Structure 1
Amino acid sequence: MSVHEFPAAARAFRTAIEEMTRAALRPEVAWRDIPAPGRMAPHTWAAEGEVLLHDDELASGRIVILHDPAGEESWQGEYRMVALVQAQLEPEFAIESMLGDVAWSWVTESLELNGAQARELGCTATRVVSQSYGALASRPSTVDVEMRVSWTPDTPATGADLGPHFAAWAAMLAAAGGLPPAPAQVAPLVPSHRARARSLTDERNRG
C-alpha cells in the first residue's frame, strides 16, 4: 500500500506518479515509496531503492519528485526530480582523481540511455575516504561516493511522462553499483567495479 495520499487538487500529479511507477525498471533495482517531505513543493512523492545482485546490495538511494502546478522559476518547469545515489567502492577509487567526472557520466548516460530529456541538470559528487589507524588499523580502508542530482523533466505540454526519469534514477543507482548500462529488460551479469551500499552498521563501526 502506498504511503502517499493525494488531495483532489493533485489529480494530475497522482496520474503522473501512477503512470511513472508502472514503468519497467532494471531488474536489479528494488524500490518502495516512503513519506515525502512536505515543505519543498505543493505536491511531493518519494521513494527509496537499492541495487541487488546475487543477494548483495551494491548501491542505494532515494528520489523525491516535486510538483508545483503554477511552475517554479528556479526549476524552469512544473516538476523537479531530486535524487540521491550512494555506494561504497573498492579502495582503489581513493586515488582516482577523475571519480567526480566518472560519477557525472553515470548521470548523463543514465538520462540519455532512458530517453529522459532534462534541463537545469545539476550534480554534486562527494567522495569520502576512511582509513583507520592505531588500535583500529586492521580495519580496511573504505571509499564512499555520494551523488546528489536534480533536474527538470522536459515533458510535453499534454502531460508529464516521468517514467523515463524514474528509470534514469534506477540506472544511476546501477551505475554506482558497478553494473554496465543495459535496457530495463536485460540483466547484466558482471559488475564493472566492486561496490556495496552504505549501511548504518558501517556508520556505527566507524565510530
Structure 2
Amino acid sequence: MPETQSTPEPPHAFTAAVRAMQDAVMRPELAVTEIPAPGTLAPWSHALAADVTPARHGSDSDLGTGRFVLLYDPSAPEAWGGVFRVICYVQAPLETEMGVDPFLADVAWSWLVDALDNRGAGYSSASGTATRILSTGFGELAAQGDGAQVEIRASWTPADEQVGSHVESWGDLLCMLAGLPPVAEGVSVLSARRVGRE
C-alpha cells in the first residue's frame, strides 16, 4: 500500500498564539469569525475577519470591515525579524468631507500605532499603507453620488506568541475608523458615513 502523507503537527509556539487569538476580548460592536488563512505566505497561518455590526447603528450595514492574519515561520525570515508576522487590513466608509482631508492617512496610521501601544502589544518592523479612496458614481451608479473610504493595510512582527493584544488592537482600530468612541480617552474619532450615498 502506498504511504499516505500526514500533516505535521503545528509547533507549540504557533498553537499557543492561536489560543491567544481565540482568547482575545473584542469590542461588542464587532462580529468576529475565523476564516481560511492564506496557505502560501508561511508554513502555518491563522486568520480572522471582523465586521462592525449594524445593530448599533440603525440600518447601515457598511460601517467597517477588517482581516487579521497571523503567520508563523520557524526559520524567522530576515524581513520579518522574528518567527511571527501579523498582516492586517481595515476599511471603513467616511463622510466625503473627511475623505478629502490631506492629513487623513497620517491620522489613520497614528491610530494603528496608538491602538497597539494602548493595548501594550509589543512589536517591531511595522510597515504598511493608509489610503484615502474617493469615488463618484456615473451612469447607472450616478444616484450613489460621491463617497469616501479610508483603508489601512499593515504588517508587523509581534514580540512573542501572546498575540491577543494585537488582535484587540486591530479591533479597536476598526471601531475607531468606523466612528465609534475609542476605548482610550483623549483620542478623537472620524465622522463615519452613516447613510447610503445620495
Residue of structure 1 in register with 2:9 after alignment = 8
Q: Distance in 2 between matches of 1:12 and 1:118?
A: 16
Q: State, as a whole percentage, how many aligned pairs show the same letter.
A: 39
- The within-5 A match list for 1:118-133 is 118-133=123-138
User: 1:133 deviation in Å?
Assistant: 4.7
Residues of 2 paired with 1:192 and 1:145: CA distance?
10
CA distance in 2, matches of 1:137, 1:20: 42
**RMSD (Å) for aligned C-alpha atoms:** 2.3
Equivalent position of 1:153 in the other structure: 158
Report the Cα offset of residue 86 of structure 1.
0.7
Task: Give the secondary-structure state (helix, strand or coil) at the position aligned to 2:144.
Answer: coil
Could you say which residue in structure 1 is the equivalent of 2:170?
Answer: 169
Q: Secondary structure at 1:20's aligned position in 2?
A: helix
Counterpart of 1:29 in structure 2 is 30
**In the TM superposition, what is the alpha-carbon distance from 1:19 to its structure 2 partner?**
2.6
Is residue 59–residue 195 contact of structure 1 (8 Å, CA) maintained in 2? no
**Shift of residue 131 of structure 1?**
1.5
1:1-207 correspondence to structure 2 within 5 Å: 7-52=8-53, 54=56, 56-57=60-61, 58-133=63-138, 136-155=141-160, 160-182=161-183, 192-195=190-193
Q: TM-score, normalised by structure 1?
A: 0.80
Unaligned runs of 5+ in 1: 1-5, 184-190, 197-201
- On the 8 A contact 2:98/2:190 being kept in 1, the answer is no
Partner of 2:4: none
1:176 touches 1:195 (CA, 8 Å); kept in 2? Answer: no
Which amino acid letter does the alignment assign opposite residue 115 of structure 1? G
Query: TM-score scaled to structure 2, two decimals?
Result: 0.83
SS in 1 for 2:50: strand
CA distance in 1, matches of 2:143, 2:28: 36
Kindly state the Cα deviation for residue 69 of structure 1 after the two structures are TM-superposed. 1.4
Figure out how many residues of one structure are paired with residues of the other and give that number: 182
Query: Greater CA deviation, 96-105 or 20-29?
Result: 20-29
Q: Which moved more, 1:139-148 or 1:74-83?
A: 139-148
Q: Is the 8 A contact 2:94 2:148 kept in 1?
A: yes
Displacement of 1:7 in angstroms is 4.0
Gaps of 5+ in 2: 1-6
Partners of 1:65 and 1:136 in 2: CA distance: 37
Task: Give the secondary structure class of the aligned counterpart of 2:32.
Answer: strand
Q: 1:20 to 1:133 in 2, by over 3 A?
A: closer
Q: How far apart, in 1, do the equivalents of 2:16 and 2:124 lie?
A: 22
